[in-house]
Structure 1
C-alpha cells in the first residue's frame, strides 16, 4: 500500500482516477488494482488512459490527453514483489524517477546510476508503457533487471539516444513479445551475429529510422548463446545456414523504415512465422523462393519497396495466407490463377507493378472471398474474378490503362463497397447516370466526363479532382435525399464545371472541406455558404467569381484555409476572419482599400497572399503580433483532418498554392509567407516586419514603398526568398543581409539603392538582382565603386595592358550576365511547364 501511495504522490491526476486510493481502504479495492485471492498481495496494476476516437479529428492536433495521468513515473512500483502485470499505456508521463520524494523531478537512469531499490521485482511478466509520447528514455539498461518479463511494449516512446538498446532486452530470457515501434531508433546492429532471445515470438520494430540491411542476428533469435559476448559486434563471418534454432518467432514487423538490400533467404527457415511485414522500405532484389516454405504464414506484406523479378509460384502453397501485399514494387512476369489457386483463406490482396502482367482465366472462380483488393498498372481488362467477390468492401485501382467496360457492371460492383479509390486510370466514362454510395469515393485523374454523378447520404468523402466533368454542381448539391447528409469532403477541382454556385448549401452542414478551384464557375459567392459551421477549408480559386466576399462567412468560425485567388472579387479585405486561419489567399482579384489592422490578430496565420490587387496605404505596423510568423512552428505546418471509420481511417492533407522563388506550387507543409506584391502600397516597411523571425518568403515588389532596409533584417534568419523590386527604396543595402544563410532568391532591382553591394554568397550570385539601381556598385555589377579604381589599375607604363584587361573584364562580366539570363529564363520556362497538383490522402 505504501508503495502505491508514493507512486500516487508523484502524479497529476486531473480526472481523479486515483481518488479512491485512501490509506484507510483496502488497496485491493482501489481502481486499477488487482490482488491475489489467497495472499492479498498486489499482482496487477491496470491504469491505461482511454482516449476517445471521434469520427473527425484535425490531423495537426495531438491526441487529447488532458484527462490522463501525468508527471513522473516512479520506478518504486517495481518494489511490489508479487506484481506481474503493469499497464500504464497511453498516459502522459514525462520522465522516470526512483526516489521516494513527491516531487515531479526526473532522475538519471544512465547505467552508472541505476537504482537498487527494485531488486525484489522478480515476478513482473507484463510491462506496457506505450504511447506515453513525452516519456524520454535515455538508457534501457534498467530493463535488464526485470528478468521474468514476457511482454514489453515501449512503442511511441523516444529512446533514440540509447545507442545500445538491444543488449539489455536480449538479457530477458523469458521475453516473448518486444514492441519498440515508433521509438526513433537508428542503430539496428547489422554486424551483430547473435541476439540472445530464447523465447521471442513477436518482434515489432516498425516506424523507426533503421538504415541497413536486415540484421543477420534475426536468424538466430531463439538460440541459447549465453556464452557469446554481445559486445563483440564487429564479427564479419557468415552465419551457419543450418542450425537447430529459430523455432519460436511468429511475427516479424520492420515496416516503415529505411531498410535496404535483398530479403535474405534465411527468413524462409523461420518455420513458425505467421506474420512478415517489411512494407515501406527500400528492399531490392527478388522475393526469395524460400518464403514459400513458411507454411504457417498468414500475413505477407512486402509492398512499397524496390523488389523485382517474378512472384514465386510456391507462394501459392501458403494455404493459411490471409494477406498478400506486394504492390508498388518492380515485379515482372505473369500473375495468373496459378499464383492464387490454393489460397482459400485469402482476405486481402495487393499487387501492382509496371511490368507485372495479370493474366487470369475469365472462367476461373477463385476459392477465396476477398475483403480488400488493390490493383495497379492493369492492362487490357480487369480480372473477371473481381466481379465474383461478394464480400469485397475496399477496392483500389490505380495507374491502369485497362478497360472498365462494361461500366454499368463495374458501377454495380461499386455499390457494395465502403471504400472506392480509382486514381490515374483511363476510364473515359460518362458519370451522369451513376449513383455512388460508398463512404469514401476517390476518383482522381480518370478522364471521367459528362455531368456529375448522384450520391447517396452514405457518402462522406467525394473526391472527383482532375477529370473532364462538366455542367452544374447543383446535380449533387440540390438533389433530394431522405436521410441526413454526411458529406465531409467535397473536391471537384480541375474539371470543366460551369454556371453559378448553387444556393443549396443549407443542407450540407457536415462539410469540412470544399475545393472547386480551377473550373469555369461564375457569379457571386452565395450567402448560404455561411451556414457551413464546420467548414475548415474553402478553395474557390481560379474561377470567375465576382462581387464581395459575403459577410455570412464569418459564421464559419473554424475556417483554416480560405483561397479565393485568381477571380474578379472586389471590395475590401474581410476583417471578420477567425482565429483559426492559417492560409489566406486573395491574390489576383480586385480588392481595394487598406490592409486592415485586424489581420494582425490572426495569430495562427502562416500564408498571407494579397498580391495583384488594388490595395493602397501603408503596411500595418502590427504584423509582429502574428505568433506563427515569429517562430518556426514546424509541428503545425501540415493541416488536414483524419476520418475514422469502422475498419479503416483516412487522413486528408490539404495543400495551398504559393508563389515562392519564382515557382507557384502546391505546398502540403505550409510556409510562413507574406506576398503583397503588385498593389499600390506606400510608405516605409514597418519595423515590426523585421521581427518576423519565422518568415520564409517576403514579396513586396511592384508597389510604391520607400525608405531604407533596416539593419534589423538580420533577424529574419529563416528567409529563403525576398523580393523588393520595382519600388522606391533607397540608401545602402545592409551588410547584415550577408548573414541570411538560408536566402536563395534575392531581388532588389529597379529601386534607388546606392553604395557597394555587400559581399556574401547569397548576395553576389547574379546581377539581375540589382539592375535598375544606377548608384549601386561592386560585384556582380560591372560598376566599380569609387576609391577602388586603384585595385583595377597598374603602373602608368602598363596603361595599354590595363586597357586590354579592362576590356577582358567587360566581356567577362557581360558573359556572366548573358549566361545567367539564359539560365534564368530556362528555369523560368521549366517552372511554367511544371505544374504539381497536390492533395494527399493516406488510408490505413
Structure 2
C-alpha cells in the first residue's frame, strides 16, 4: 500500500479554535495580535523554507494577510495556519521528495503554551515528538498527525483526545494507553510492537466507561494473541488489526461487541475456526484473508453482510447456501482455500450483484456524530485480486462487484443462473475442476471487466456472445479443453495469446494455429493447423501426396528407358 504523502498534502495545518469564539475569515480592517505576529516570526526563524512558502511573512504586512494565515473576525487572533507542502515550480514531481517542504526538528515553542486549541492537524512534515509534545496534545480534543515522518515513542503515553489520528508516521514502542474520552483511534502504518494488551486491558483507566467507536492499529509489528479484554469496548463499530504478527484464536469476548459492523483481521497468523459467538455482532464487512483459519465458512453471517473476504486460509467444506440470502453482498472472496462441491445455483438471489447502478457512498463509510456535527471519519479499504493484479480499493470500493472462488476444489458446471449477475465487474473461477461448456448467456454480463476461467476442464467452443461484453479488459481462458475457432472480428482477438494457451484444439488469432474447414465451405466445423506443421492432419496428407508423386515420376522415367531401344542399348 502506498503511504507516501501527496505533494499537495498539508505539511503543517494547525486549526486553533478559541474557547469563546467561532473561527472565521480574517478581518483585514484590523491589525492582528502583536503576540501572534511575533510568535509566527519566531516559528519562521526556526525552520527551513527552501521554496519560500513563508516569503510573505514580514512586519511590512498585517499577519492576517500572510500566506496561509487566517484570523478570527472578532478578536483578530490567529485561528488557522495552513502551509501546504508544494511549490509552483514544476520540478517537484516526486512524492517521496520533501526537500522543498518546511522542515525542522521541533515544533515552535509557542504552540505548547496554547490553552484554547481545539484541533491540531499536521500533514506531510517531519519533526521529533518529545514527551512534552504528548503532554500538550493530550489537551487537544481533535488530533490529526497523519502522513508525516514523526519520530517518537508511544510507550507509557496516555492519549486523552477524542479523535486521535496518528497513522503513517515513524512511531515506535508499545501501544499507548487510552482514556475514556477516546472515540476514534488510528495508529496504522507505524512501527509499534509488542502486545495489544496495554491498549485494551487497562480497566482502571477506563473506570467502566468507553466511547471508542473506531480502532485501527493495522500495519505495525504487533504480536501475541488478541487478548480477552474486549468486553469493556462494546461501543466499537470498526476494528482493524490487519497486517501484524498476531497469533492464536479469536477470543470469546469479541462476540460481546454488539455494535461491531466492520472487522479486519487480515494478514496475521490467526488459526482455529471462526467462533459462533461473533454472530452476536452485526458484522457487515468481514475480512480475515491471509490467516490459518480452518473449518467451514460460517453459515450464521448476518444477511445484511456486504463484504466477505476469506481468501488464503484453510477453509473446507462446501459453499453455504445462506450466502444466497445476503442481498447486499457485493464482495465475495473465498479464493485459495480447500472448498469443494458445486457452485450454488441460488447466487442469483444476491440482488447487489444484479444491480448495475452504483451503491451509495455511505455503504462503505462510517458516519459518526461528534460535537453536534456529522463527520465521516474513515472509508473502508480492501485489497482485492482482479485483472491479474492485487489492487487497493478505497474511494472506488463502492463501484466494485466481485466474486472470487479461484484455487479451490470446486467441481461440476457453472450454474446457468450465475450468468444473470449482470452487475458483476470481476469473476474469477480459475484453478478448480469445473467442467461443461460456456453458454451464450455469458453475454448478459455486460459489466464484466475481468474474467478468469483458467486451469479448469471447460470444453466446447468459445461462445460468440462473449464478444458482447464490451468492458472486458482482462480475460484468461488458458489451460482448458476449448475447441474450434476464437470468434473473429471481435475484441476477443485483441487479447494476448497467453489468454488462450493450453487449449490444444483452439485455433485462430491471436494463437499461431490457423483454422481450416473440415468439410465443405458451408460447414462451421474447423480444425487447427499448426504453423510448425507436425501436429495437425494437413501435413501427413501432404507427405503422402509428395511420396506418391515421386514414385509415379520414377516409374515413368524407368519405363521410358526400358521401352526406348536406343537408350536401352546405350
Question: Aligned equivalents of 1:313 and 1:535: distance in 2?
Answer: 49
Residue in 2 that maps onto 1:702: 431
Q: Once the 2 structures are TM-superposed, how far is the Cα of residue 325 of structure 1 from its aligned partner?
A: 4.6
Question: Aligned equivalents of 2:326 and 2:452: distance in 1?
Answer: 24
Residue in 1 that maps onto 2:84: 352
Q: Once the 2 structures are TM-superposed, how far is the Cα of residue 527 of structure 1 from its aligned partner?
A: 1.7
Relative distance call for 1:780 and 1:459 in structure 2 (3 A) is same
The match for 1:731 among 440, 460, 466 is: 460
Question: Aligned equivalents of 2:368 and 2:31: distance in 1?
Answer: 32
Report if aligned partners of 2:459, 2:481 keep a CA contact under 8 Å in 1: yes
- Secondary structure at 2:81's aligned position in 1? strand
Deviations 1:478-516 (A, max 9, x none): 112215111100100001111111111111110000000
Relative distance call for 1:425 and 1:750 in structure 2 (3 A) is same
State whether structure 2 residue 148 is matched by structure 1 residue 428: no
Relative distance call for 1:294 and 1:597 in structure 2 (3 A) is same
Residue in 2 that maps onto 1:437: 160
Q: Once the 2 structures are TM-superposed, how far is the Cα of residue 319 of structure 1 from its aligned partner?
A: 7.4
Residue in 1 that maps onto 2:355: 631
State whether structure 2 residue 392 is matched by structure 1 residue 666: yes
Residue in 1 that maps onto 2:340: 616
Question: Aligned equivalents of 2:312 and 2:402: distance in 1?
Answer: 16
- Secondary structure at 2:491's aligned position in 1? coil
- More deviation in 613-622 or 657-666? 657-666
State whether structure 2 residue 216 is matched by structure 1 residue 515: no
Deviations 1:438-475 (A, max 9, x none): 00000111121111100100000110101111111111
- Secondary structure at 1:717's aligned position in 2? coil
Residue in 2 that maps onto 1:765: 495
Residue in 2 that maps onto 1:780: 510
State whether structure 2 residue 467 is matched by structure 1 residue 741: no
Residue in 2 that maps onto 1:714: 443
Q: TM-score, normalised by structure 1?
A: 0.52
Deviations 1:201-243 (A, max 9, x none): xxxxxxxxxxxxxxxxxxxxxxxxxxxxxxxxxxxxxxxxxxx
Question: Aligned equivalents of 2:61 and 2:371: distance in 1?
Answer: 32
Deviations 1:280-317 (A, max 9, x none): xxxxxxxxxxxx9953799xxxxxxxx99765458984
Residue in 2 that maps onto 1:593: 317
State whether structure 2 residue 385 is matched by structure 1 residue 655: no
Question: Aligned equivalents of 2:264 and 2:31: distance in 1?
Answer: 47
Q: Once the 2 structures are TM-superposed, how far is the Cα of residue 763 of structure 1 from its aligned partner?
A: 4.2
Question: Number of matched residues?
Answer: 462
Residue in 1 that maps onto 2:330: 606
Residue in 2 that maps onto 1:524: 249
Question: Aligned equivalents of 1:459 and 1:601: distance in 2?
Answer: 37
Question: Aligned equivalents of 2:252 and 2:155: distance in 1?
Answer: 28
Question: Aligned equivalents of 1:745 and 1:781: distance in 2?
Answer: 17
Relative distance call for 1:763 and 1:586 in structure 2 (3 A) is farther
Relative distance call for 1:789 and 1:393 in structure 2 (3 A) is farther
Deviations 1:653-708 (A, max 9, x none): 11121111122122122311000000000000001110000000000000000001
Report if aligned partners of 1:447, 1:467 keep a CA contact under 8 Å in 2: yes
Question: Aligned equivalents of 2:105 and 2:29: distance in 1?
Answer: 34
Question: Aligned equivalents of 2:152 and 2:519: distance in 1?
Answer: 73
- More deviation in 658-667 or 630-639? 630-639
Question: Aligned equivalents of 2:368 and 2:102: distance in 1?
Answer: 28
Deviations 1:64-83 (A, max 9, x none): xxxxxxxxxxxxxxxxxxxx
Deviations 1:111-169 (A, max 9, x none): xxxxxxxxxxxxxxxxxxxxxxxxxxxxxxxxxxxxxxxxxxxxxxxxxxxxxxxxxxx
Q: TM-score, normalised by structure 2?
A: 0.76
Structure 1: segments with no counterpart, 5+ residues = 1-273, 277-291, 299-306, 328-338, 357-375, 792-805, 808-844
Q: Once the 2 structures are TM-superposed, how far is the Cα of residue 383 of structure 1 from its aligned partner?
A: 1.7
- Secondary structure at 1:612's aligned position in 2? coil
Report if aligned partners of 2:30, 2:76 keep a CA contact under 8 Å in 1: no
Report if aligned partners of 2:56, 2:67 keep a CA contact under 8 Å in 1: no
Question: Aligned equivalents of 2:504 and 2:84: distance in 1?
Answer: 61
Relative distance call for 1:735 and 1:665 in structure 2 (3 A) is same
Report if aligned partners of 2:27, 2:76 keep a CA contact under 8 Å in 1: no
Mapping of 1:573-588 within 5 angstroms?
Answer: 573-588=297-312
- Secondary structure at 2:192's aligned position in 1? strand
Q: Once the 2 structures are TM-superposed, how far is the Cα of residue 380 of structure 1 from its aligned partner?
A: 3.3
- More deviation in 537-546 or 427-436? 427-436
Relative distance call for 1:389 and 1:662 in structure 2 (3 A) is same
Question: Aligned equivalents of 1:509 and 1:623: distance in 2?
Answer: 34
Question: Aligned equivalents of 1:435 and 1:708: distance in 2?
Answer: 63
Question: Aligned equivalents of 1:749 and 1:455: distance in 2?
Answer: 54
Relative distance call for 1:325 and 1:488 in structure 2 (3 A) is farther
Report if aligned partners of 1:295, 1:320 keep a CA contact under 8 Å in 2: no
Q: Once the 2 structures are TM-superposed, how far is the Cα of residue 378 of structure 1 from its aligned partner?
A: 3.4
Relative distance call for 1:779 and 1:672 in structure 2 (3 A) is same
Mapping of 1:22-421 within 5 angstroms?
Answer: 295=29, 312-313=56-57, 317-318=61-62, 325=68, 344-354=76-86, 377-404=102-129, 407-421=130-144
Report if aligned partners of 2:31, 2:76 keep a CA contact under 8 Å in 1: no
C-alpha RMSD of matched pairs (Å)? 3.0
- Secondary structure at 2:279's aligned position in 1? helix
Residue in 2 that maps onto 1:371: none
State whether structure 2 residue 196 is matched by structure 1 residue 470: no
